[in-house]
Amino acid sequence: MTMNIHPELLSVVERFELPDELGFGETLAPVMCRLDYADGAWGEGQLLPYADISIDPSAKVLHFAQVVFEGLKAYRGEYAQIKLFRPHMNAARFNRSCARMLMPELPESLFIEGVSAVSACVAPLVPGLPGQSLYLRPLMFGTQPSLGLAPSDSFTFLVIASPSDALITGALRVVVERGMTRASTGGTGNVKASGNYGASLHSSMAATDSGFNQPLWLDAREQKYVEELSAMNFFAVIGGELHTPGTGGTILPGVTRDSVIALAGDLGIPVREGRIAIDTLLQQIRSKQCTEAFACGTAAVVAPISVIGEKDGAMYELPEVSGPVANRLRDELLDIQEGRTPDRFNWLYTAGM
């Protein structure tokens, strides 16, 4: 695509100063990419200084939540190169989300060029300490001004970015959510529609208020089987094997999840994808047959779980909070992402403008 670069963009980057404490998603890079869709076609890409955007109060996105997004990371590699982690997989998932939400396909080349250009433009601001990264947030939303219930015919695609520290540095405490549900069969649980995350906020905040980090969601039909956390996939080590729920149409097929499964296979760790009954899992933790549990996602990478709690006060503490399987998978993944070991899976993509 033709990328129009704002004449003041480089000076904006040069003047930008990173704070001493980055946090996660709190420090916004001073650059964004924008493309607009109208009359059945995508317009020219623009690299712009990060700024507010104007939107009509009757825009479809504000009334019918016609918005999807992605999350991926870029890392500082050798010779100051900026490496994106598996952006093509994010591009494919982005378009699956768009299809489900009746939004136009964004050609993979445009998605890759957008995240690549932003990453390359802010290369001096990509932090390089272990655990740090440039977190990228591509998103698309309907902009047509109309109050009628119908899909938008105009859209905006943006890429914004945040130089960030690690999201999670310790172990997670999670609570089983047996009342509310996040996604059901035939819904949008298997795509990255923003409404999924809005629907999780009530239980997520209740979990935080009760001393936990996140809820552990169960299936909507029977409230019996483990699905995922609000923003992470779930794994457990049971009998020396790695178990994770199959995606099955209600669980987001995470990029990190896919990477963990590939790494486990490469390391000779047996992987089982399928149903995990919550009551059986809790019994296996008590009997120490389940030795570890962890969550994974783009933001968190691999985060060990120390305890799974119930709202009635029952607590199930994992025998190995920072166990050998989770630690090895996390170290292997970060070593590839941060360039300390060869990229034997060809997961890294060099950013450029």
For 198-219, the pLDDT digits (tens) are: 999 999 999 999 999 999 999 9
Residues 93 and 132 both lie in one domain: yes
- Residue 220 predicted with pLDDT over 80: yes
Question: Same structural domain for residues 157 and 284?
Answer: no
Inside any domain, residue 88: yes
pLDDT tens by residue, 154-177 = 999 999 999 999 888 889 999 999
145 and 117 belong to one structural domain: yes
Angle, vertex CA 23, rays to CA 260 and CA 138, nearest 5: 60
Same domain, 28 and 129: yes
- Does 343 map to a domain? no
Query: What's the CATH code of the domain at 124?
Result: 3.30.470.10
How far apart are the C-alpha atoms of 127 and 164, rounded to whole Å? 7
Structure tokens at 192: 């990255």
Please give the model's pTM, rounded to 2 decimal places.
Answer: 0.95
pLDDT at res. 248:
83
310 domain residue, yes or no: yes
* Residue 137: other Cβ atoms inside 10 A: 18
The pLDDT tens digits of the residues spanning 81-124 come to: 999 999 999 999 999 999 999 999 999 999 999 999 999 999 99
Q: What is the band of 1 on the pLDDT scale with cuts at 50, 70, 90?
A: low
Within 10 angstroms of residue 59's Cβ, the number of other Cβ atoms is 19
Tell me, yes or no, whether 85 and 162 share the same domain. yes
Question: Residue 95 and residue 103: Cα distance in Å, rounded?
Answer: 9
**pLDDT tens-digit map of 265-305:** 999 999 999 999 999 999 999 999 999 999 999 999 999 99
> 9 exposed, middle or buried (CB, 10 Å; 0-12, 13-18, 19+)?
middle
Residue 273's DSSP bridge partners are 244
Rounded to whole angstroms, the Cα distance separating 111 from 90 reads: 9
Question: In the chain, how many domains are there?
Answer: 2
- Say whether both 204 and 59 belong to one domain: no
- Report CA torsion sign: 194, 252, 334, 47: negative
Region 53-70: mean pLDDT is: 98
Give me 310's structure tokens.
């119930």
Share of the chain above pLDDT 70, in %: 100
- Is residue 346, in this structure, part of any structural domain at all? no
Return the number of other C-beta atoms located less than 10 Å from residue 196's C-beta: 21
CATH number for the domain harbouring residue 177: 3.20.10.10
* Phi and psi angles of residue 166, each rounded to the nearest 5 degrees, phi first: -65, 140
In terms of DSSP bridges, do strands 72-76 and 233-238 run parallel, antiparallel, or are they unpaired? unpaired
Tokens of 191: 């795509």
Instruction: Please state whether 58 falls in left (phi above 0), alpha (psi between -120 and 50) or beta.
Output: alpha
131 sits in the region (left: phi over 0; alpha: psi -120 to 50; else beta) called left
Type and span of the H or E element at 9: helix 9-15
Query: In terms of residue numbers, what domain contains 294?
Result: 172-337
Q: Which tokens go with 85?
A: 């982690």
125 shares a domain with 10: yes
Nearest partner of 82 among 50, 113, 55, 122, judged by Cα: 122
